Amino acid sequence: MILNAANYPATLVDLSYLNFRSEQACYYQFSPEQLTAFALEYNEGELTANGVLSVDTGAFKGRSPKDRFIVEDELTRDRVHWGDINIAFTETAFQALYQKMINYLSQRPFFLRDAYAGAETRSQLSLKVITETAYQQLFAYNLFIRPVGAVDALPQWTIIAAPGFKADPKVDGTRQANFSIINFSAKVILIGGTGYTGEIKKAVFSVLNFLLPLQGTLPMHCAANVGTNGDTAIFFGLSGTGKTTLSADPDRRLIGDDEHGWSKYGVFNFEGGCYAKTVNLSEQKEPQIYAAIKEGALLENICFYDDTRIVDYDNISKTENTRVSYPLHFIKNSVSRSTADAPKNIFFLTCDAFGVLPPVAKLDTQQALYYFLSGYTAKVAGTEQGVNEPQATFSACFGKAFLPLHPQVYASLLKNKLTQTNINIWLVNTGWVGGAYGTGGRIKLAYTRAIIKAALSGELNHANYGLLETFNLSIPTTCSGVPAQLLNPVTSWKNPADYWIKAKELKALFDANYRQLAIV
């Protein structure tokens, strides 16, 4: 690879503050067209039949949570909730590894981008994103907020991502060759040894989760959209529960699909783009996402139909975590400013493979805090090696892996928001009905969409409700577009006695998990 190749002229940028030599030649602020062309020329990926760059991210096709570290120093020592999620890294080891990465990149071409995180200017972070590969830089272009006009020479935060740089665990203090390390004092993120782009996105999310609570802003792992009447809705949920799918609604405008803040001024997107799962994607089920996969988007770890460059979204032989990133404006009815008023409706999405939770329940404030701190979903048999039957998964605040602070901090912020405003809070099961996985079936997407529509329209505010014991959930007896027998999970099971046995088992898992957390 030639640094000053005629087709890709390098730019001299002053990066001396990062310990580069005073003026470093790099590929600065390349356009999506330039980045795609570069990636193709240097064999980083290939084009699909409709002109979208497709790449394989290498050995890592998902995040590696056990290799995420936070530098322990005076700023973080007494604030970070240390443990198996937030793993401490020494300042000395960070500085040594940082200089090694700078030396590594100084000897090869790299890409540089100015960008922002946070659509609300009061909470916005300026970023410099340095990547070794063109496709990582395209991801950064798609996912972060793109500047308009001049940018500050010195950013608030710097991200350095080099998949070709491998750490030596015995020398560098990492667990293995790959790593993601956040230094809050230096305001630097180091990512090495992995080509999975999601590490870049989630590292910045972790930074915001540390900083924003100090301002009274609640950072949220959620999607958000707004109706024609200005009514905002937010959708919490772990991967696979449907927050991206359900928030992409042709009748409502998309604010964002994954990361938001809730300040005293309203809801705002952290990002300038979307990072959607593509497994089983179809134009019929998810037309907006399907249409957004066009030139400028970036597909990761997908497969093609034999002897074609047509994407086979049902093929998960590489990974179930197939992904696409694209700018927010690729969704036609997105909110250009990425901000909106405080929510009128909050949805907690869960994919309950035990078939115990109802398709929809209305929650009071205390129940909302319980389910927020629980962050429940279930792994389904066959999706991971060794998983032979449904397994309950709890991720506090629907984002435990990205929370530097104790979950109680975020739950307290949510409690304050809920007590100040009149908000409808809904628990929505996008998983199994009529029985557990293997006996029942997954609820139809059309039924879940009908539930969301009924909640947003106000229909469910005026419905009759019954009480589902064990979980003490209020469940509607009717909902337009949904068979009545499905709304009560007891009546949807062939044998109600089997339901109650499974319900008590799941409730015991909920309570055991909740006891590990401080009650808000």
Q: Which residues are catalytic?
A: 63, 202, 221, 239, 243-244, 258, 323
Phi-psi label, residue 58: left if phi above 0, alpha if psi -120 to 50, beta otherwise: left
CB count in 10 Å sphere of residue 108: 11
Whether 145 contacts 118, CB under 8 Å: yes
The Cα–Cα gap between 487 and 509 comes to 23
Whether 418 contacts 368, CB under 8 Å: yes
Whether 29 contacts 40, CB under 8 Å: no
Whether 226 contacts 232, CB under 8 Å: yes
The Cα–Cα gap between 163 and 337 comes to 33
The Cα–Cα gap between 82 and 404 comes to 8
Whether 325 contacts 143, CB under 8 Å: yes
Radius of gyration from C-alpha coordinates of the chain: 23
Whose tokens are 């590969």? That residue is 133
Cβ-based burial of 144 (10 A; exposed 0-12, middle 13-18, buried ≥19): buried
Residues 474-488 as b or e (16 or more Cβ within 10 Å = b): bbbeebeebeeebbb
Q: Which amino acid is at 335?
A: V
Question: Going by DSSP bridges, is the β-strand pair 266-269/259-263 parallel, antiparallel, or unpaired?
Answer: antiparallel
Rounded to 5 degrees, what are φ and ψ at 191? -130, 120
H-state helical runs in 10-113? 32-41, 91-106
* Nearest partner of 165 among 206, 131, 207, judged by Cα: 131
Cβ-based burial of 12 (10 A; exposed 0-12, middle 13-18, buried ≥19): exposed
The Cα–Cα gap between 448 and 463 comes to 17
Distance of CA 220 to the CA centre of its chain: 10
* Nearest partner of 96 among 155, 174, 200, 156, judged by Cα: 174
**Which tokens hold the place of 310?**
């047509």
- DSSP string of 157-223, one letter each residue: EEEEEETT----HHHH--SSS-EEEEETTTTEEEEES---THHHHHHHHHHHHHHGGGGT-EEEEEE
Rounded to 5 degrees, what are φ and ψ at 438? 100, -20
